[in-house]
């Protein structure tokens, strides 16, 4: 899978699964996803929805531990996790 295409898909998935009011183009590749410092307002419920969607679409399970926090840090880290 092409990494750039995957990142575009992930941004779309983030917006759709978490029902955000902004478009995928508003999400930077290295922008922090979780917490207030990223400015995107993703929370723990969003993290659960994203994890379930990633497992459903890409067959990669994000465990509930430090790996989860690292995988969900940004679009780039999420893409790396899926491609690993």
Over residues 5-56, the pLDDT tens digits come to: 999 999 999 999 999 999 999 999 999 998 888 889 899 899 999 999 999 9
Task: State how far Cα 24 lies from the chain centre.
Answer: 11
- pLDDT tens for 44-82 read 899 999 999 999 999 999 887 777 778 999 999 999 999
Return the pLDDT at 16.
96
CA distance 37 to 64: 21
Query: Residue written as tokens 């890409």?
Result: 58
CA distance 71 to 80: 8
Domain count, the chain: 1
The tokens for 8 are 């575009």
What is the CATH number for 8?
Answer: 1.10.1200.10
Q: Which domain holds residue 13?
A: 3-83
CA end-to-end span of the chain, whole Å? 11
């Amino acid at each position: 899978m092409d990494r750039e295409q995957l990142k575009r898909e992930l941004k779309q998935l983030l917006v759709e699964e978490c029902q955000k009011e902004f478009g995928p183009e508003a999400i930077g590749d290295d922008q922090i996803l979780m917490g207030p410092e990223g400015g995107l307002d993703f929370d723990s419920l969003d993290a659960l929805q994203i994890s379930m969607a990633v497992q459903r679409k890409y067959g990669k399970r994000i465990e509930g531990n430090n790996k989860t926090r690292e995988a969900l840090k940004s679009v780039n880290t999420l893409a790396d996790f899926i491609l690993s």
